[in-house]
Structure 1
Amino acid sequence: MAAARVSDVRWVWAFIDRPLDAFAEAARFWTRVSGTTLSPRRGGHEQFATLLPPRGDAYLKLQGVFEGGGAHLDFEVAHLAETTDRAVALGATRVLAEEGLSVLRSPAGQPFCLTDWDGQSQWPPAVTTPSGALTRVDQICLDLAPEVFDGESDFWSELTGWDAGPVGDPEFGRLRTPAHFPVRVLIQRCDDPGPACAHIDVACSDIAAVRAWHEELGARFVCEGRYWTVMRDPAGGIYCLTPRSPETGLAP
């Protein structure tokens, strides 16, 4: 019997990456839909802010970028140097290193960060919308070309120590994230070749009600998927509304 893998990951952040010149619009929208307030902006271009929940530990951050957008993962780990070295040995590329932070790209080019664990452990509450529906920003979906899907699935699984497996649909896989973490990781096999990227997923107890609320806040409907709804936020970023439990992250 193979020995169980030990994960060095202690907390997971979801970064919402939006154009820097649309930072204010993104902040207004994402603080409302996540039930948070914005921390003071920081960084040389005031490009970073944390979305602060009313209780529990923060797990969402907003980053202004000069090009592109989307989302990326930040793993807080117990042993930063060792985990960074392991990521590189698995095929990641170093982008930036400074005290307490390693910025890397996966073998397919998806950015991610490793940072020192700061003791976070408690989920914030789900958000109750004006209609009474519950919602939570709780997942990053890695969007991958067919030819890199298997290799990236193996990379993220080996890096985190979490098993990767199917979700009943050949288009998707999932990292089996520990239940006490507030961010899930879905892996999507896209139809066409293209660069690796990622987007935010929002769990909804009632997709139609959450969509209506998001539209009141400035989001726009893009299209319907098989069991999800694709939206565009006021800063131009794509995200999805999904029918998972905002309280457990599990599909119905």
Structure 2
Amino acid sequence: MTIRWIWAFLDRPVAQFEECIEFWTAVTHTTVSPRRGEFGEFVTLLPDSGGPAIKMQAVSGAPRVHMDLDVDDIAAATEQAVRFGATLVLDNPDCAVLKSPHDMIFCFTPADPTQGELTAVVTGPEGDTSRVDQITLDIGASDHEAEVRFWTALTGWTWRPGTLTEYSRLVPDSPLPINLLLQRLDEDRPTSAHLDLSCTDTEATAAWHEKLGAQRIERGKRWIVMADPAGQPYCLTGRTPA
């Protein structure tokens, strides 16, 4: 199985959906696509240049992040994922919804050969640049080894340790719009995910995001934890946007 493209899918409660669309289109310099789905619950954020990499869905539950993985053969990819320990949640004609061994939702979706180049970086009002370029999987301490083994097998990507012992990453053979970072938590809970934005100036980007409706949660070693208008955490990290 080859993953042709990866999407960050932002699931946001119906009550905050419009506010979240406004926020995320502003911070990514994108426009919202026409609505899709029976209730108009799906949208794609369309950049001025490069292939889109963020989708959003209005949901009845709590906010979360999941991934869509574009593949050539959804049925074969699903069969392989189940062999590695995934659970099939829903099998639709145009996608398959699965859970990792420790409850991270992801989907297989049809590959589109026309996605194009990676999305361009965004320049903030103070000249700082940023880009949504990473999904971090937050993995409970007891589940970490098994979950890392699952995602390494599923993607077929190269596992590399991080500079901090609690982090590692999976590196694809060719560039994709969203990278995968794996984080070992100090607690036991189901695997979840959050977005990371690489930033040339985390403080300037944080101040800009606050004006647009985000809240600052805490400062880490080289990052700032934020929350979007629905309260979903994301991180601004001191990495060069690429």
Native 8 Å contact 1:232 1:239 kept in 2: yes
Native 8 Å contact 1:154 1:164 kept in 2: no
1:158 aligns with 2:149: no
Q: What does residue 209 of structure 1 align with?
A: 204
The one of 201, 220, 233 equivalent to 1:238 is 233
User: For residues 140-167 of structure 1, what are the alpha-carbon distances to aligned partners after superposition, in whole Å with 9 as ceiling and x for unaligned?
Assistant: 1111101111111111111111022211
CA distance in 2, matches of 1:38, 1:174: 30
1:28 aligns with 2:28: no
Native 8 Å contact 2:63 2:230 kept in 1: no
The amino acid of 1:75's aligned partner reads L
Question: Matches of residues 53-202 of structure 1 in structure 2 within 5 Å?
Answer: 53-119=47-113, 120-202=115-197
Unaligned runs of 5+ in 1: 1-6, 248-252
The one of 46, 49, 56 equivalent to 2:40 is 46
What is the SS of the residue equivalent to 1:165?
A: strand
Unaligned runs of 5+ in 2: none
CA distance in 1, matches of 2:9, 2:85: 22
Normalised to the residue count of structure 2, the TM-score between the two structures is 0.96
CA distance in 2, matches of 1:182, 1:205: 18
Native 8 Å contact 2:143 2:188 kept in 1: no
CA distance in 2, matches of 1:125, 1:35: 9
CA distance in 2, matches of 1:116, 1:53: 20
What is the SS of the residue equivalent to 1:140?
A: strand
Q: What does residue 10 of structure 1 align with?
A: 4
Report the aligned-residue RMSD. 1.2
CA distance in 1, matches of 2:170, 2:87: 21
Q: What does residue 3 of structure 1 align with?
A: none
CA distance in 2, matches of 1:211, 1:179: 30
What is the SS of the residue equivalent to 1:32?
A: helix
CA distance in 2, matches of 1:37, 1:245: 24
Normalised to the residue count of structure 1, the TM-score between the two structures is 0.92
> How many pairs were matched up?
241
Native 8 Å contact 2:45 2:53 kept in 1: yes
Identity %: 44
